[in-house]
């Protein structure tokens, strides 16, 4: 590439920088929305199910046994007893209004059955409209009941001078996220989603804007060649997107407490590949769209839905149907989210991220090549 080529690329890039600066909507989209999205997803989206609201109908309220049993729920962070009732009508009304998620009904012979060694029923009414949350909450209840049953058996053995039955005692050792903080899992995915969407969305309106304003014909008539125009428009948005990425990393580390254990150099290299591919995809969309509205819609559809649903950002890929799992291999955000989580939480190097690096390289190369070729066809 000669000095003349570099001069023309620099001129186009500077023109685009000025254009972004003069367009408050684009500048706001580039700088404000990533921060806003990180705050919304970081504080608003949580996979932790805590303080499940529940109501209790204790038909054996005078018993010390039932009060001790209920302490297992009131002292747990997973449940929040919002009140007590004495009828099913109240339970139904509160579940219908969404005030509680479950109701615990303790029968009147609860303590009598426990003290006589009988099996006693315990009714649990659960709002199953949110199946995932209901399943997790049921698991919490089963765990509380199981622990209580074990304590009952242990007391019975001790009362008869016997040693408790030996049982398996699991000692979990959690790596990379000892506190099981869902924010640590979510934030790297949010960063990938923001970069993919913002990068493609920002640059997708550049060439279509030139067509709308009638300035594309002027650019075509200048000595600036197609590849020079594409690269010149690419550079400003690469800088802006990398700034957004840096803001995301700073917010993740200092605002949400997500550790960064890996190599910053590797992070920059792999992020540059992903950004190149995302921006090239935006250029490809822009080349095929004569209006900014169409470019925006195409960019949103091609980045938002796949990144949100098919990248493993929220929903684990191994739970998806087999044919959907096959489709996820074509989603670049799938690989970049793995890169971010591995670098942030695990501190992995290129030896474990080699497959992702290869795919991101291919993604960047083919998207950039297709964008250049398609633009040549447009201006021909």
Q: Is 53 helix (H, G, I), strand (E, B) or coil?
A: strand
- Both tokens assigned to 42: 């970081």
First to last CA, the chain: 22
> pLDDT tens string for the chain (380 positions)?
567 777 777 877 787 777 777 777 767 767 787 888 888 888 877 767 788 899 999 988 777 888 888 888 888 888 999 999 989 999 999 998 889 999 999 988 888 888 887 888 889 999 988 787 888 888 888 888 888 888 877 776 676 666 666 666 677 777 888 877 888 888 898 898 888 877 777 777 777 777 777 666 666 667 777 777 788 878 888 888 888 899 999 999 999 889 999 999 999 999 999 999 988 888 888 877 777 777 777 877 888 788 888 888 878 888 888 999 999 999 999 999 999 999 999 988 899 999 999 999 999 999 988 888 877 645 44
Dihedral angle sign, alpha carbons of residues 336, 338, 341, 342: negative
pTM for the full predicted model: 0.79
The predicted pLDDT at position 178 comes to 80
Residue 278 CA to residue 137 CA, distance in Å, equals 39
143-150 contacts at long range (C-beta below 8 A, 24 or more positions apart): 144/72, 144/73, 144/76, 147/72, 148/69, 148/72
Q: What string of DSSP letters covers 230-262?
A: HHHHHHHHHHHHHHHHHHHHHIIIIIS-----S
- Residue 217 burial by CB count (10 A; 0-12/13-18/19+): exposed, middle or buried? exposed
What per-residue string of b and e applies to 303-314 under the rule 16 or more CB within 10 Å gives b? beebbbebbbbe
Please give the domain boundaries of the chain with CATH numbers for all domains. 11-45+181-379 (no CATH), 52-159 (3.40.1710.10)
Q: Other C-beta atoms within 10 Å of 260: how many?
A: 17
Q: What are the two backbone dihedrals, phi and then psi, of residue 231, each rounded to the nearest 5 degrees?
A: -65, -40
Residue-level pLDDT at 273: 94
Give the DSSP letter of residue 346.
I
Sign for the CA dihedral angle at 198, 362, 306, 43 comes to negative
Taking the alpha carbons of 60, 65, 69, 75 in that order, is the dihedral positive or negative?
positive
The pLDDT value given to residue 219: 66
Per-residue model confidence (pLDDT) at position 377: 45
The DSSP bridge partners found for residue 58 are 106
Backbone angles phi, psi at 52, to 5 degrees: -65, 120
């Amino acid at each position: 590439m000669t000095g003349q080529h570099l001069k023309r690329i620099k001129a186009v890039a500077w023109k685009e920088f000025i254009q972004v600066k003069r367009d408050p909507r684009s500048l706001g989209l580039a700088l404000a929305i990533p921060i806003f999205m990180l705050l919304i997803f970081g504080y608003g989206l949580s996979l932790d199910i805590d303080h499940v609201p529940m109501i209790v109908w204790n038909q054996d309220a005078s018993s010390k046994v039932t009060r001790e049993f209920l302490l297992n729920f009131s002292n747990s962070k997973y449940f929040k007893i919002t009140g007590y009732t004495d009828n099913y009508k109240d339970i139904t009304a509160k579940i219908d209004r969404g005030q509680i998620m479950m109701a615990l009904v303790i029968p009147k012979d609860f303590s009598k059955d426990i003290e006589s060694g009988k099996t006693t029923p315990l009714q649990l009414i659960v709002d199953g409209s949110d199946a995932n949350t209901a399943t997790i909450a049921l698991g919490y209840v089963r765990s509380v009941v199981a622990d209580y049953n074990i304590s009952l058996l242990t007391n019975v053995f001790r009362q008869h001078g016997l040693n408790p039955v030996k049982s398996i005692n699991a000692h979990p050792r959690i790596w990379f996220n000892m506190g099981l903080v869902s924010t640590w899992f979510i934030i790297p995915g949010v960063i990938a989603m923001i970069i993919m969407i913002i990068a493609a969305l920002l640059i997708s309106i550049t060439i279509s804007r030139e067509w709308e304003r009638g300035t594309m014909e002027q650019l075509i008539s200048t000595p600036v060649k197609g590849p020079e125009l594409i690269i010149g428009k690419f550079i400003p948005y690469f800088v802006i997107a990398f700034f957004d990425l840096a803001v995301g990393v700073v917010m993740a580390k200092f605002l949400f407490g997500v550790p960064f254990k890996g190599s910053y150099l590797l992070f920059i290299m792999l992020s540059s590949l992903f950004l190149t591919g995302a921006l090239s995809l935006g250029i490809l969309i822009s080349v095929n769209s004569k209006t900014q509205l169409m470019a925006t819609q195409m960019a949103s559809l091609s980045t938002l839905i796949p990144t949100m649903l098919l990248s493993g950002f929220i929903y684990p890929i191994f739970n998806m149907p087999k044919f959907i799992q096959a489709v996820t291999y074509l989603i670049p955000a799938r690989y970049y989210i793995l890169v971010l989580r591995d670098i942030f939480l695990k501190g992995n190097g290129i030896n474990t991220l080699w497959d992702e690096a290869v795919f991101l390289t291919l993604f960047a190369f083919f998207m950039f090549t297709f964008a250049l070729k398609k633009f040549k066809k447009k201006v021909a």
